[in-house]
Amino acid sequence: MKGRLYVTELKRRKHRRKKIKKLREKYLKAETEEEKKQIIEKALRVNPYLTEGMFLEPIKSKLGKAGKREGLKEEQKKEEE
């Protein structure tokens, strides 16, 4: 029975990682701050050992790129006008 407990815990960790990955992708697609806040709250419920900083760290580079793209789009709109 002792070995079975270990396998079960591994399965839970794997499922938790998959869920957090999906939530990070959803966070990147979220448009409003309210949506982002709800996603972070859900992530902290799924993995109580996680902090907000730890959740956002792997996607910081993608967050920065998204902001740059939005800035470029706004500049292009201004140039067209």
Instruction: Give the pLDDT confidence of 24-45 residue by residue, as tens digits.
Output: 999 999 999 999 999 999 999 9
What is the reported pLDDT for 28?
94
What is the reported pLDDT for 62?
86
The secondary element (H helix, E strand) that includes residue 81 is none
Q: Report d(CA 42, CA 20) in Å as an integer.
A: 9
Q: Pick 5 or 73 by higher pLDDT.
A: 5
What is the reported pLDDT for 67?
52
Q: Pick 51 or 4 by higher pLDDT.
A: 51
Which letter, b or e, does each residue of 15-40 get, where b requires 16 or more Cβ atoms within 10 Å of its Cβ? eeeeebeebbeebeeeeeeeeeeebb
Domain boundary assignment for the chain? 2-80
pLDDT of 10 > 50? The answer is yes
What mean pLDDT is predicted for residues 44-70? 83
